[in-house]
Structure 1
Amino acid sequence: MPTETLRTLAGLAPPLRTLFLTTLLFRTGTTAYPFLTPYLLGRGGLDAAAAGLTVTAFGAGALLADLAAGPLLERLHPHTVMRGGFLLGAAAVAVVPLADGLPALLVAVPVWGFAYEIVTPAAYSATIAASPPGQRKVAFSCHRLAINLGLSAGPLLGALLYALDPDAVFWANALGVLAAAAFLHARRAHPPLPPPHPPKGRADPDGAADGPAAARPTRAGRTRFWTVFALSLPVQLAYALTSVFVGAYVIVGLGLPGYWAGIVFTVNAVGIVLFEVPVNLRMARVGHLPTLLTGYTLAGTGFLLMALADSGPALVLATLVWTAGEIVVFPGLLDYVSRLPGPPAGRAMGLFSGGVNLAFIAAPQLALHLSAPGRPGAPWAAAGAAVCAAALLLLAARTHPSTWHQEPPCTSAT
């Protein structure tokens, strides 16, 4: 599997290789955000309420970026937006250790959140522009691999730096983001990215709309987008729970040793790194509906198993199942959204990224309100049931052209 993944990465088109390495640098350089709350409570001198408000301000800036991404990407090249986000983010994160008091932080941190998040829809747009529709699942899985590798290395580096000097985490973050900007700028000699939609009057052989339809969204096109957006929210919420609730569930809810939480995270990370690209290579020609139904079914089953787990091995089994769902469902969703003849690619990807941020904001509240003594697995049960219900609604949406983008028949790659 690793050999196949490396071969796939080496075979990417030059713009996609550039995007992969830029994303890897950027995410690896993201050393500060995981330590923002402890920094604010310690070196920053804030109380819990003020620290929570500051972290919420980061999320608000990120949501604003998702809303602004569409208009920006309609006017600017995705690489231009990415470089602007890198430079703005480096400046904002460098200001955080210099900020004196809550008012200054409430200016710097939302700007940092905006700059951090604006890179995501821009990178998605660059992926769409540089990959033919039939290869987009693999392209998105390679992009997610860069994100996951970077987000594994960045917090580890941040932890080492935080132990030496908390301020150094922010300086390292700024330097890492500048390195990504410099690398992307140095690679600008590549041929420009092609337009994300076929030329006017030419049909997309993989079922996407032609140029005029893509340029002028119809009511049906917008309805299809908002249908899949709504049906993706249960998935986004469920996977957001894995980052905010696993530790508390394992240690407090189940009373297991803390190392089982680490094992859960490790199994998930290793599974994605080893299998996401090979699995999506094999599913490159599988249709949207079977791809999403497979991903939703695995995800829903995995989270229901999390709710039933009462031992470490049971947690590992559940994690293997929902990790398999993650490997399939996220490239599948991104691929489907990228082919919708509704909003332009930049706007669609910005709004879709906004759903991810909404899920991360809502997930802690979901866990807080549903978990209680005697029913620690309730958040997982609710998430699993919601994902299974969304799978049934996908089947219902598929029956009407106003809520589902029809595609020509395709066969599974073997």
Structure 2
Amino acid sequence: MPRIVWLLVVARAVNRIGAFSLPFLTVLISTEFGASTATAGLLSAAFGLATIPSRLAGGRLAVRLGRRRTIVLGLTGCGLAQLGIAAAGSLLAVAVFAVLLGLVFELYEPPSQGLIADAVGPADRVRAYGLLNAGLALGGTGAGLIAAGVGRWDLRWLFVVDALSCLACALMMRLVLPADRPPAKPGGRRPAGPVRPWRDRALWAMFLPGTVFALIAMQIMMALPLALERRGFEPADAGLLFTTSALTVVAAQPLLRLRLFASLRDSPSLALAYLVMAAGLSWYAVAATLPQFVLATAVWSLGEAIVLGRVLGVVAGLAPPGGADRYLASYGVSWGVATVAAPVVATQLLTRAGVGGLWGVPAGVLLVLAFAQLLVVGPVVAHRPSTGAAQVPVDDGGDGVGVAHDAR
């Protein structure tokens, strides 16, 4: 891998070490300011809504300001917004800083993913993005331990630690990334024809279940501290479970390269992953001890690792030559939608159905996804005429590369 790929992997790991404050935002709003669970969910949803224009702005700023400047701007903005949340003295102030955090939260993604896309050839992009995800997971192991320790002391300090990691990462990026080049002139290399991913039925077939999957993944992140509190555990114990999840993702990488898994076609592999995730969440619904929660976490995390390892390759394979960036960007909108909906869905399920329903309902939905993948999604994708993978980098018009977000 080129040097710049490793620099981005290391930087993301550094940033990830402190990035476990977001799942505790609803807990902070509820415990520190006495807001209802529903109110806490709505404020978290406001953060998620702000991340959608943030991703689009990141793509446009990368073109106008340059990638390095946009990355540094996004990370610095995240750090300052998190410090604002930590120092807020009222619910209104927390709400304002949460929205500001959302508006800068995704600025990093398009330019960083674009740097990787330009640094490696099409055949190596899956491996390069896999390294990035591995860096996130390794950083997540330390982040979970920090959350478990600092969260028992004061939840506000989680946001301080996250802010410091963002600022450290911003400084690292400013020092090690190559200087921004002048904006590209019109007439650069582009696809031979127009790229219209939203007119592709096969992309829609991937996008709809992908949005449901992203919603469930974000719901786990948002709701786990609250669910643990309802079961009589410390909310900070979620940090230990997040560490378990990160370690499982790292440990699963060599396992997923074994012939037993690698030889599976995409559709059966995704269906299997949904079933494994459903088993893990079903275990959450009945778990009564922390070791049981740890084992259940390892189960659903294995399923999630399988999904994330397959789905981007499928989406990129749907794109015409030169159009993979646009297809991945369009698919990546699913995570923005999920970030908006997850806090509301999670808090409403917890309020109306309790902890059992909070995990039982998404487990049932995952079972439906598994059958839909085999009976509907797989056939739609398989019978679509192949257009080939992208062969050249594309000026995506400011959309950025929409690879799955890290859910910090």
2:249 is matched by which residue type in structure 1?
I
Give unmatched runs, 5+ long, in structure 1: 1-11, 201-210, 409-414
Aligned alpha-carbon RMSD (Å):
4.3
Match of 2:139 in 1: 150
Match of 2:335 in 1: 353
Cα contact 1:54–1:106 (8 A) shared by 2: yes
Counterpart of 1:395 (choices 378, 389, 408) is 378
Q: Secondary structure of 2:265's partner?
A: helix
Cα contact 1:244–1:364 (8 A) shared by 2: yes
TM-score of the superposed pair, with normalisation by structure 2: 0.73
Counterpart of 1:297 (choices 252, 272, 277) is 272
Q: Secondary structure of 1:344's partner?
A: helix
1:137 is matched by which residue type in structure 2?
V
Match of 1:337 in 2: 315
Residues in 2 aligned to 1:257 and 1:168: alpha-carbon distance in whole angstroms: 16
Sort the Cα spacing of 1:363 and 1:269 in 2 relative to 1 into closer, same or farther, 3 A. Answer: farther
* 1:84 and 2:59 matched: no
Superposition pairs of residues 85-100 of structure 1, within 5 angstroms: 85-100=74-89
Match of 1:204 in 2: none
Structure 1 window deviating more from structure 2 (216-225 vs 323-332): it is 216-225
Q: What are the Cα deviations for residues 279-329 of structure 1, in whole angstroms up to 9, with x where unaligned?
A: 56668x969x92353133232244147537867899777655543332222
1:141 is matched by which residue type in structure 2?
G
Deviation of residue 65 (structure 1)? 1.7
* 1:140 and 2:129 matched: yes
Cα contact 2:70–2:107 (8 A) shared by 1: yes
Q: Secondary structure of 1:398's partner?
A: helix
Residues in 2 aligned to 1:247 and 1:37: alpha-carbon distance in whole angstroms: 9
Cα contact 2:316–2:327 (8 A) shared by 1: yes
Cα contact 1:229–1:355 (8 A) shared by 2: no
1:65 is matched by which residue type in structure 2?
S
Residues in 2 aligned to 1:218 and 1:258: alpha-carbon distance in whole angstroms: 44
Aligned residue pairs: how many? 375
* 1:384 and 2:366 matched: yes
Q: What are the Cα deviations for residues 35-94 of structure 1, in whole angstroms up to 9, with x where unaligned?
A: 433433455x34326544433322222233234344444545444332111111122222
Counterpart of 1:59 (choices 35, 38, 48) is 48
1:330 is matched by which residue type in structure 2?
L
Residues in 2 aligned to 1:141 and 1:39: alpha-carbon distance in whole angstroms: 33
Identity across matched positions, percent: 22
* 1:239 and 2:217 matched: yes
TM-score of the superposed pair, with normalisation by structure 1: 0.72
Counterpart of 2:247 (choices 258, 264, 270) is 270
Q: What are the Cα deviations for residues 371-413 of structure 1, in whole angstroms up to 9, with x where unaligned?
A: 46987863144222232133122222124437x75569xxxxx
Give unmatched runs, 5+ long, in structure 2: 391-408
Residues in 2 aligned to 1:120 and 1:143: alpha-carbon distance in whole angstroms: 12
Q: Secondary structure of 2:160's partner?
A: helix
